[in-house]
Amino acid sequence: MQHTQRERLGSTPVFSPDRDLFFSSEYKTVSGKGISQTITTPAIYGEQRQSAFQQKIQQAFADEKSKGVENPILMGSIPFDVSEPSCLYIPESVEVTEHNAAMPEPNGILAREPLQILAKRSEPDESLFKHAVAEAVKKFQRTELEKAVLSRVLNLELSDAISADDVLSRLIKQNPTGFHFAIPQQDQSVLLGASPELLIRQQGTSILSNPLAGSAKRQGNTDADRQVSDALLKSVKDRYEHRLVIEEIAQQLTPYCRELDVPTGPSLISTPTMWHLSTRIEGQLNGLGDEQGKPSNYNVLQLACLLHPTPAVCGFPFTLSRDAIKELEGYERGMFTGMVGWCDSQGNGEWAVTIRCGKVRENSVRLFAGAGIVDASCPQAEWAETEAKLGTMLNAFGLGEKGAA
């Protein structure tokens, strides 16, 4: 099949079950059908950081251009551990729209009998997770480690096969401002979610990164919800956790930018289930190009790999936090806290942090959640934070509180 690309300014994207790849934001919606090329090269390969990976990407784009595709698009996901295989595709056909539009009502899981949980298991369980948090706090006292992000996976076996399309549609309806994605994986599962966190977006020389760090659970009562958000914005612990992320991202981007605007303090953003501390970092890249879309000297995937993993999903300093995760977490994250998105052959694109997500295969589900641990962290509070973060995906399955581990 000929690889084609269609761009429709201001039109409404049509979401169809035969779409193989999907990513949407308030910026663009990108839908891919069919697979022209698959790229599994790790984002860091051997001793030469990114070189083999970027060469593979550029060769794939060149191959598509030789078929007559003017500006090929790559979509997919990259794992937390970038030494592991990537899961990237160039679709046979791509449809791009200029904004995230409303999606149709799901027609599968909502029409059937409610899904029931036949079995569930947290990895690690509550006691082991809390022990890991306590051990991380001890490390802050005797090492130079300042932050470590610890996570868990909730494994569910449900009463019926799951429609990834219907779950995605529900995620979009429930979280309209998120970064929505559905990416097939090499193990025949589908990675899907509604991330609130933008790793980086590039259009010409204009870039935007919107890291999140510091979270609190939304409350059903308006007054209580306001109190929680106010407390988060004033929290010394959460602002410290957030500052570590912002300083690291700004340090990484500065050499590539002729302008970089980093706000002096965080603001608040919310999802239906969580409040987050948020900072929008905007800049103009060095070199050629302009904001109207002409290519710059850099591409968005290079910059995304430069930033990933940020202290928001790994910790600080990087090596110490990565080692702490390997020691304390007890399972392989895979794509969770990696990055998911798209880029074109001109360098433009958008990559989100792979959080508020899960993997679906038949009637099995793996849901992921994490929490940033710093010196002031409390094991019980961090466990509760992961429970709250799981709410986004549990709600999309119609499970709500039933899914809590």
The separation between CA 262 and the C-alpha centre of its own chain, rounded to angstroms, equals 21
Distance, in Å, from the CA atom of 316 to the CA atom of 247, rounded to the nearest integer, reads 11
Note the pLDDT tens digit of each residue in 262-308. 999 999 999 999 999 999 999 999 875 555 545 567 899 999 999 99
* 135: in domain: yes
> What is the torsional sign of CA 113, 119, 124, 129?
positive
* 112: in domain: no
> If DSSP codes are grouped into helix, strand and coil, which group holds residue 239?
helix
* 220: in domain: yes
What lies within 8 Å, CB to CB, of 325 at 6+ separation is 148, 149, 150, 314, 315
Whether the model clears a pTM of 0.85, i.e. scores above it, the answer is: yes
pLDDT, average across residues 309-313 = 95
Q: What size, in residues, is the chain?
A: 405
- Structure confidence at residue 282 (pLDDT): 98
Note the pLDDT tens digit of each residue in 191-204. 999 999 999 999 99
Number of domains in the chain: 1
Residue with tokens 């899904």: 115
Nearest CA among 208, 237, 183, 206 for reference residue 377: 237
- Structure confidence at residue 216 (pLDDT): 94
* 271: in domain: yes
Question: Which helix (H) or strand (E) segment is 192 a member of?
Answer: strand 190-195
- Structure confidence at residue 44 (pLDDT): 79
Nearest CA among 170, 178, 194 for reference residue 396: 170
- Structure confidence at residue 51 (pLDDT): 80
On the question of pLDDT at 36 being above 60, the answer is: yes
* 111: in domain: no
* Domain region containing 384: 4-100+120-403
Active site residues: 147, 197
Residue 134 sits in a domain of what CATH number?
3.60.120.10
On the question of pLDDT at 111 being above 70, the answer is: no
pLDDT, average across residues 230-257 = 96
Task: Read off the DSSP letter of residue 187.
Answer: T
Mean pLDDT of the chain: 88
Nearest CA among 37, 45, 92, 122 for reference residue 394: 122
